[in-house]
C-alpha cells in the first residue's frame, strides 16, 4: 500500500474532484491519498464523490483558515 499526495490548490470545484477522481482511478484498493485544496467546496464535494464511489474518507479538515486551505485524506476502496 502506498501513500500519495495531490496538490489541488488554487483551482475551483469541480476541478479538485475531477483531479482526485482521475488519480484514484489509477490507484489500487488500500492506497491512501492526501488532497490539498483551497476551494472550501472541496470539503463537501470530495467526500461526497468518495461516498458514492466506495472510497473511505479518513480525514477532512481545514488546515489554514486564512488561505482556506483544506486537507482531505482518502483510502481507496474497491472499484
- Paired strand residues for 73: 34, 59
State how far the Cα of 53 lies from the Cα of 78, in Å rounded to an integer. 9
Q: Could you say whether residue 17 binds other proteins (CB under 8 A)? A: yes
Q: Which is nearer to other proteins, 2 or 10 (CB)?
A: 10
Report helix angle 42-53 to 15-24, nearest 10.
Answer: 30
CA 51 to chain centre: 12
Q: In the complex, what is the shortest distance from the CB of residue 15 to other proteins, in angstroms, rounded to a whole number?
A: 7
Which of 2, 5, 7, 12 is in the footprint of other proteins by CB under 8 A?
A: 12
Site of interaction with other proteins (CB under 8 A) = 10, 12-15, 17-18, 21, 39-41, 43-45, 48-49, 51-53, 68
Amino acid at each position: 500500500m502506498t501513500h500519495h499526495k495531490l496538490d489541488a490548490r488554487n483551482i475551483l470545484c469541480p476541478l479538485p474532484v475531477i483531479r482526485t477522481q482521475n488519480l484514484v482511478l489509477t490507484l489500487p484498493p488500500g492506497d491512501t491519498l492526501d488532497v490539498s485544496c483551497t476551494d472550501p467546496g472541496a470539503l463537501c464535494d470530495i467526500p461526497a464523490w468518495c461516498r458514492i464511489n466506495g472510497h473511505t474518507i479518513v480525514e477532512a479538515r481545514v488546515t489554514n483558515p486564512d488561505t482556506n486551505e483544506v486537507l482531505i485524506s482518502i483510502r481507496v476502496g474497491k472499484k
